Copies of this chain bind each other. A is one copy, B any other.
Amino acid sequence: MHIGMVGLGRMGGNMAERLRAAGIDVTGYDANPENSDVATLADLAAALPQPRRVVWVMVPAGEPTAAVLTELATVLDEGDIVVEGGNSHFEADQANAARLAERGIGYVDVGVSGGIWGRENGYGLMAGGSGADIDVLLPVFDALRPEGPREEGFVHAGPVGAGHYAKMVHNGIEYGLMQAYAEGYELLEARDDLISDVGAIFAAWQRGTVVRSWLLDLMVRAVREDPGLDDISDWVDDSGEGRWTIEEAINSAVPVPVISAALFARFSSRQPSSPAMRAVAALRQQFGGHATRAARPSA
């Protein structure tokens, strides 16, 4: 098989390598000519075998993805398939698919999990699209996913949008899991009179316990590399999917106290001074004459 890959950054580049290692030809296009096998998307399309050309898009969600899809619509033909493997919102997928369908081009959205470990371990894949399009792509999915039964590392989640919806929920869960471990970490750190080596506790949870997981393994690595996590800031970014998860929860009236708490903790982590807590401090001062602290110089 021979496919095109658009976007050869950290994720796309790694995925192209894994595909090639599995015997799938990949012609890559990247905005950076140094990383690119071809000069233009038109060249990319021309380089792929017909019919049923496959172009996997792996560029940042939003404007960059939209721009690539718009151009692909002009260089691909009826029966070709575009795979959106980035982090698009599932409703953007539905709109994208409708636009490409006007020209007879198929569309499959794939949520890809696994981070920088995926090249070696394989990627967890959640795909949305028609059964016919998915069938064409199965060799690609099999090359990207981890070893083992296909259904443990890949799912045809439903129609277009289902792949990224499932990935969005996956990431929402991930937010909650990470925050749960993090609260546990802090509870252990808080009692250094009892617990002298927090890393040893996490290490001992790797086998036999209810909380064992891949994230736990990573936590063990992190604490081994930097006991006390002293070299890292408590500033935590969020990537969009956590926000979308809450928005969808609201749309579906699903209570998500844990996922939202995890998201809000990240928001708080990035505030040099919390306006809300200044308001609480001001209220306490007003009614009780409670001592407050002068604003931090940097605030």
Q: Which residues of A contact B (CB under 8 A)?
A: 10, 90, 113-118, 121-126, 128, 145-148, 151-155, 157-159, 161-162, 165-166, 169-191, 194-196, 200-201, 203-216, 218-219, 221-223, 226, 229-237, 243, 245-250, 252-271, 273-296, 299
Contacts and interface: CB of A to CB of B under 8 A. Distances in A.
Nearest to A217: B286
Contacts of A246: 246, 250, 260
Contacts of A208: 113-114, 118, 121-125, 145-146, 153
Contacts of A229: 275, 278-279, 281-282
A162 B194 contact: yes
Q: Across the A-B interface, give the 8 residue pairs with the lowest CB-CB distance, nearest first.
A: A176-B180, A213-B213, A124-B209, A155-B204, A124-B208, A233-B293, A257-B261, A234-B277
- Interface on chain A toward B: helix, strand, loop, or mixed SS? helix
Contacts of A118: 208
Contacts of A154: 204
A215 B215 contact: no
How many copies of the chain does the oligomer comprise? 4
Nearest to A145: B208
Residue from A151, A203, A229 having most chain B Cβ neighbours under 10 A: A229
A265 B285 contact: no
Contacts of A256: 183, 187, 264
B116 A275 contact: no
